[in-house]
């Protein structure tokens, strides 16, 4: 009886672990590309002689507002 329970646990454990890694990968990828997007906006603003106004509204959802004002 104990062998059956261990096998049943493995059947549910592996998909959970794979899903956990998948969610972690997607979260880190989204964070990376969001950071790259902000860096490109800032670089472009400075290259055009502007002043950066960046406000991050929510770190979890990665929502932000960006403005490049002319000096």
Domain span including residue 66: 2-70
pLDDT at 71: 77
pLDDT at 1: 47
Q: Which residues of the chain have pLDDT under 70?
A: 1-6
The whole-model pTM stands at 0.74
Q: What is the pLDDT of residue 12?
A: 81
Buried b / exposed e along 3-14 (16+ C-beta atoms within 10 A): eeeeeeeeeeee
**Distance, CA of 40 to CA of 27 (rounded, Å):** 20
In this prediction, residue 3 carries a pLDDT of 56
Structural domain tally of the chain?
1
């Amino acid at each position: 009886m104990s062998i059956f329970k261990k096998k049943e646990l493995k059947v549910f454990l592996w998909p959970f672990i794979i899903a956990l890694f998948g969610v972690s990968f997607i979260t880190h990828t989204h964070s990376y590309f969001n950071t790259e997007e902000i860096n490109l906006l800032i670089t472009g603003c400075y290259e055009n002689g502007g002043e950066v106004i960046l406000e991050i509204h929510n770190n979890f959802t990665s929502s932000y507002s960006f403005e490049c004002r002319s000096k």
